[in-house]
Amino acid sequence: MTNLDVHANPLEPILAASERDLRRFAADTFTIRSGGARKAVIFGCGALGRIIFTGATRAGVEVVAFADNNPRLQGQTFNGLPVLSPDDAVAKYGQDAYFVVGIFNASLPGRQLSELGCRRIVPYAAFYWQFSESMQDAPGIELPDRIARRAAEVRAGYECLADSRSRHEFAAQIASRLSLEFDRLPPYDDGADIYFPSELVRLSPEEVLVDCGAFDGDSIRLFRRRTAGAYGHIIACEPDETNRGRLTEFIGELPPQERVRITVLPYAVGDRDEIMHFNASGTAGSHLSSEGATQAVECRCLDTLLDGRTPTLVKMDIEGAEPDALRGAFEVIRRARPILAVCAYHKSEHLWTLPQIMKAALPDYRISLRRYAEECWETVYYAVPPERAVVSA
């Protein structure tokens, strides 16, 4: 797969590989990275580590330990297995186990394992390629042959993009998802600019932000910093009770004249009004899901939820429900013409399906793609009406 070149042609050479060759490449990748070892150590006890462990258990993989850099976890047990320091884990299992990197931004953990002498390092994506049938809920990635099978859709998504930088990022992401050569991606942007980048988004003192997936207020903090507190109103939707408690606590510390301009709602956002299953983890990863659901929540579509209110900016980071949420907001976004900032990294297919959904609803909008972390993570689509574009069409 090293012959992929996103510079000579932005997309077509990338999609030229056959599905059969890609299937073989995926199988070989795991075999080479694991070195033939049967046992596994998972590096990382966070959300991704738990996803990998669940998939490994279903697939019959023998996981012998977790490794983690957090000293408070070392010496404890996680899912019934010991948690070791990376040094101790490599010393004990480095000769007869492979290490799966269960951390989203994986370059530093991978380098750390390599410097400790670990030679069997398996990226999360390579592990998924081998055991995809046991990892139904794996975020952000897909089998390379399945991406190739949808080449026409990939091309259609690419054609929606308005600027060369977005097209280059898109093509490079497709290449990296087919090859796992993530070091060929362009440099990512500063995370402090996520959702409100000045190169794409011009904010006004009357801005009405609808924050879908408000979490603990992290995006609102960025918005307040970007506007210097001069905005019209914020409507924050957060269905996870623990996250919403932190959000409410943060808002409660703001000046009274600002608190009245922020409305917190306990809803998930989707394409219809209904009660849905929800996996509430008290983290940024809480999401709508029948698998591992811990409670039922009320889901609302923005067309009914906003009840005639006119948003000027809609941000969506809702753990994979973005396409449904967009479809449930067609009426309001066609009427109000807000700027959209929509996360595109929770499912691989969102890279090419989201721009098509937005373009179908808003044909004259400029759609741009930016990334704020390694690999495919923290990737955001911006859809901007021409009357609010920083760069004219």
The CA distance from 182 to 160, in Å, is 24
Q: Domain residue spans in the chain?
A: 14-141, 187-388
The partner residues of 381 in beta bridges, in order of sequence, read 342, 369
State the sign of the Cα–Cα–Cα–Cα dihedral 180, 185, 189, 195.
negative
CATH topology of domain 14-141: Rossmann fold (3.40.50)
Strand ranges of the sheet holding 313-316, from the earlier edge strand across to the other edge: 262-265, 233-237, 208-212, 313-316, 339-343, 379-384, 366-371
- The pLDDT tens digits along the chain (393 residues) read 444 444 445 788 999 999 999 999 999 999 999 999 999 999 999 989 999 999 999 999 999 999 999 999 999 999 999 999 999 999 999 999 999 999 998 999 999 999 999 999 999 999 999 999 999 778 899 999 999 999 999 999 999 999 999 999 999 999 999 999 998 899 999 999 999 999 998 899 999 999 999 999 999 999 999 999 999 999 999 998 899 999 999 999 999 999 999 999 999 999 999 887 756 555 455 445 555 556 778 999 999 999 888 999 999 999 889 999 999 999 999 999 999 999 999 999 999 999 999 999 999 999 999 999 999 999 999 999 999 988 643
The 3-class SS string of 137-175 reads CCCCCCCHHHHHHCHHHHHHHHHCECCHHHHHHHHHHHH
Alpha helices per DSSP H over the chain? 19-34, 47-59, 86-93, 107-115, 124-131, 144-149, 151-159, 164-179, 218-227, 241-252, 256-259, 302-305, 322-327, 330-336, 350-361
187-388 has which CATH code? 3.40.50.150
Asked, colleague to colleague, whether 14-141 and 187-388 share their fold, the answer is yes
Report the relative pairing of strands 287-288 and 39-43 from DSSP bridges.
Answer: unpaired
- 275 phi and psi, to 5 degrees? -90, 130
The CA distance from 375 to 183, in Å, is 8
Who contacts 258 (Cβ-Cβ below 8 Å, separation ≥6)?
A: 229
The CA distance from 215 to 224, in Å, is 15
C-beta atoms surrounding 206 within 10 Å: 10
